[in-house]
Structure 1
Amino acid sequence: MYNWDFSAIFTGYEAWWLKGVLTTLAYATGTVVGGLIIGVICGMGLLAKRWWLTLPIHIYVEVFRCTPVLVQIVWFYFALPILTGIDMPAWLAAGVGLTLYMGCFATEIFRGGIQSIDKGQWQASRAVGMTYPQMMWHIILPQAIRRMTPPLVNQSVIQFKNTALLYVVAVPDMMYTGYLVVSDTYRPLEVYTGVAIAYFILLYPLTQWGKKLEARRGN
């Protein structure tokens, strides 16, 4: 019989947990925003159809999409300094890895959203004398954004969960905080159950919003 005692993992550790939650939220928000910026830039680059521009973007997307984000974080922290001589602190290595990972998926979502717009609307926009920026701003992007929003929300949920990998480079997120509390209390069941509940509370509203957006898009 195991005696559950959740009070043991919170009493005296409130500041630790608060810092862990805030760090997780900060990384999730920052890397999603950074990834979206990369996605817009690289997605527009893919639409340019210039091989010298699209080739590096394709390489970036495929490399980061086909390798685990954990490997990417560890590589930026341990391998990049050896290759370049630039010592990258843990918080930056983790942030760069997560941002570039989010960016590669955002690139594909953005590209796919733009290209999903019927070609007739592109042709009609040109026929009435719209410039390319006017066409994108008034005709193409408003429709594409509605189509891109549900997959971007779903990818943001995945990105939020990926922040749990920050612990491998000792960034004090919720998982690393849990590791410290377990080392101090020897209560892994309570700690990791509590961490799971915290992730659920933070992510459930976002997943429900994503479902509503998908349902609205289907109507």
Structure 2
Amino acid sequence: MEWSFAPVIANLDILLLGLLNTLKVTGLALSLGVPLGLALALMRLSQVRPVSMVSAFIIEFFRTTPPLVQLFWFFFAFPILFNINMTPYLAAVVTFSIQSSAFFAEIFRSGIQSIDHGQWEGSKAIGMSRNQSLRRVILPQAVKRMIPAFMERSIELLKTTTLVSTIAYTDLMYQANSIAQSTFRPLEVYTVVAVIYFVLIFAFSQLSIIIEHRLAKSGEGTVN
């Protein structure tokens, strides 16, 4: 067998369009998943037991069930149950926003709990409410410790979004499958796709390492 990357290069614009679509889903899922994760973490830490239990159930459900099953449910079952038109893009964003929020919630919870309790007491002593203490004192310190874990989770989300090709969303993998079938060069196509993902994820990983080293030098710990 002779390798030929000429058909792949000829369709490189299609692959790049697929990569753009992949990044669109990943970016929007992160934008929605982080604040939703914070809300779930605060609910999980609530002293109101029903609120804490509901949050715990949501977090554990979306952390333990396969993302592919979640994706299929939102794309196929959700529209039938609620009479909502669910496009592949919308289904992907909803699925990965909620799924990633469950993991971000645990990162937020670990970060908040890693802050010494004396910080709460100190802010309370100067007249801050619990919400003010959380917003002005606790979260700014906790977020620094959570950054490496956030970046690691973001990388996992980028890899997980390859599943969206199964519902015909035109991401990088979907375009790669189409090119492989039309050119009969699957090895070359998937090799190029692997290189693209490697470059992206390696760059993010190196950035995460740099940030973690800087935080370690500044005396800030990290959470997993």
Q: Report the TM-score range of the alignment, normalised by the length of the smaller protein.
A: over 0.9
In the aligned structure 2, how far is the partner of 1:83 from the partner of 1:138? Answer: 42
Counterpart of 1:53 in structure 2 is 51
Shift in Å, 1:142: 1.6
Counterpart of 1:169 in structure 2 is 167
Higher mean alpha-carbon deviation, 209-218 vs 95-104, is at 209-218
In the aligned structure 1, how far is the partner of 2:128 from the partner of 2:78? Answer: 46
1:66-106, Cα deviation, whole Å (9 max, x unpaired): 01111110111122233333342211111111111111001
AA aligned opposite 1:10: I
1:110-144, Cα deviation, whole Å (9 max, x unpaired): 11111110111111211222222332233211210
In the aligned structure 1, how far is the partner of 2:25 from the partner of 2:79? Answer: 22
Shift in Å, 1:184: 0.5
Where has structure 1 moved over 6 Å in runs of 4 or more? none
In the aligned structure 1, how far is the partner of 2:77 from the partner of 2:49? Answer: 30
Question: Unmatched 5+ residue regions in structure 1?
Answer: none
AA aligned opposite 2:7: A
Higher mean alpha-carbon deviation, 191-200 vs 74-83, is at 74-83
Across the two proteins, how many residue pairs are aligned to each other? Answer: 217
Q: Within 5 Å, give how 1:17-166 maps onto structure 2.
A: 17-166=15-164
In the aligned structure 2, how far is the partner of 1:49 from the partner of 1:9? Answer: 57
Shift in Å, 1:181: 0.1
1:39-70, Cα deviation, whole Å (9 max, x unpaired): 11111222222122222211111110001111
AA aligned opposite 1:149: I
Secondary structure in 1 matching 2:205: helix
Q: What is the CA RMSD across the aligned residues, in angstroms? A: 1.4
Question: Unmatched 5+ residue regions in structure 2?
Answer: 218-224
Counterpart of 2:2 in structure 1 is 3
